[in-house]
Amino acid sequence: MKNHMILLSVTLLLTASANVGYAHTDTTDHSHSTTEKHSEHQHTAKDSHGDHHAAVSEPTIKLSVHKIEDKGDKKRVQIKLEKIKDDKSISLDKLKEVHTQKVHLLIIDDTLGDYSHIHPKALKEPGLYEFEWDAKKQANYRIWADLHPLDTDAQEYVIADLVTGKEAKSEINKAVVLESTMDGYTFKLSFDSESLVIGKPALGKITITDKDGNPVKDLEPVMGAFAHIVGFFDDRQTVVHIHPMGEEPSKPTDRGGPELQFHIVAEKAGFIKLFAQVSIKGKELFVPFGIVVK
Ligand SMILES: [Cu+2]
């Protein structure tokens, strides 16, 4: 299991750690490092063996796009999940719930500009799932399904192309972006080291202020965390998913902010488009950043 390293997310390792009193058990969609300190973490043994690549395994599931149809401004998409080995349908009962959901779909275009995080609903036919999706760009899109099959008991990312063949300009804007303003809130990203270097752990911090410059302390829980930070590498092959350190929400009325801290260890050089998904006053925001690993 731990020897089956996925090529996708091992190249960048992001961890959320040192979390005393960690409230939930399904924390496996962090890319864990060996420095885990979650006292209640169920994968401690796996995480503590000295291998940075333990948390994500090679895909055992394949994802295919079954149908895409227009539905008003949006698209209705059906996807199929099957076991690679024997083509058996992957229904919900074969998957573990992680961060309140069994199937997380991370969808992004090839410029890394239009990111969606979607939870499809299972259709009657086993292995078929459906979701509505709003493609904001004329571009090619790719899906990363973040899954945790019960039989392997390991997280895996399964990739499929959702839209292909678009001629549109698909260059990635590799500008470094450490400050992003959305909905009147300003999100500032910083690291404890001057530059991110391959293999060197760094501590990242996102500080949130409102339009008057006051600290924002009312981050609402989003799928069991105060933020979901997802990073897409400019190779379009690598995705990472982290959650902030510190107390996680245990009930809907819990609030977080104004700071989100996280650990990052990049094992590969390149540009990473990072999105912090947060919820403030009932509105979900996907806050973009751009960082470079040297
Ligand atoms: Cu999700």
Residues 162, 159: Cα–Cα separation, whole Å: 9
Phi/psi at 204 (nearest 5 deg)?
A: -100, 150
User: 């379009």: which residue's tokens?
Assistant: 236
- The alpha carbon of 19 and the centre of ligand 1 are apart by a number of angstroms equal to 21
- The alpha carbon of 147 and the centre of ligand 1 are apart by a number of angstroms equal to 10
- The alpha carbon of 103 and the centre of ligand 1 are apart by a number of angstroms equal to 7
CATH topology of domain 179-293: Immunoglobulin-like (2.60.40)
Distance separating the N- and C-terminal Cα atoms of the chain: 30
- The alpha carbon of 118 and the centre of ligand 1 are apart by a number of angstroms equal to 6
- The alpha carbon of 243 and the centre of ligand 1 are apart by a number of angstroms equal to 12
State the pTM of this model. Answer: 0.77
- The alpha carbon of 14 and the centre of ligand 1 are apart by a number of angstroms equal to 17
Cis peptide before 59 (omega within 30 of 0): no
In contact, 290 and 174? CB cutoff 8 Å: yes
Q: What is the pLDDT along the chain (294 residues), one digit of tens a residue?
A: 333 333 333 333 333 322 222 222 333 333 333 333 332 222 222 232 233 334 678 899 999 999 999 998 899 999 999 999 999 999 999 999 988 899 999 999 999 999 999 999 999 999 999 999 999 988 899 999 999 999 999 999 999 999 888 776 678 999 999 999 999 999 999 999 888 898 888 899 999 999 999 999 999 998 888 998 999 999 888 887 777 787 788 899 999 989 999 888 877 889 999 999 999 999 999 999 999 999
- The alpha carbon of 41 and the centre of ligand 1 are apart by a number of angstroms equal to 20
- The alpha carbon of 212 and the centre of ligand 1 are apart by a number of angstroms equal to 32
- The alpha carbon of 120 and the centre of ligand 1 are apart by a number of angstroms equal to 9
The H or E element that residue 221 is part of is none
**CATH class name, domain 61-163:** mainly beta
Domain range list for the chain: 61-163, 179-293
In contact, 55 and 30? CB cutoff 8 Å: yes
- The alpha carbon of 237 and the centre of ligand 1 are apart by a number of angstroms equal to 19
- CA 248 to the chain's CA centroid: 16
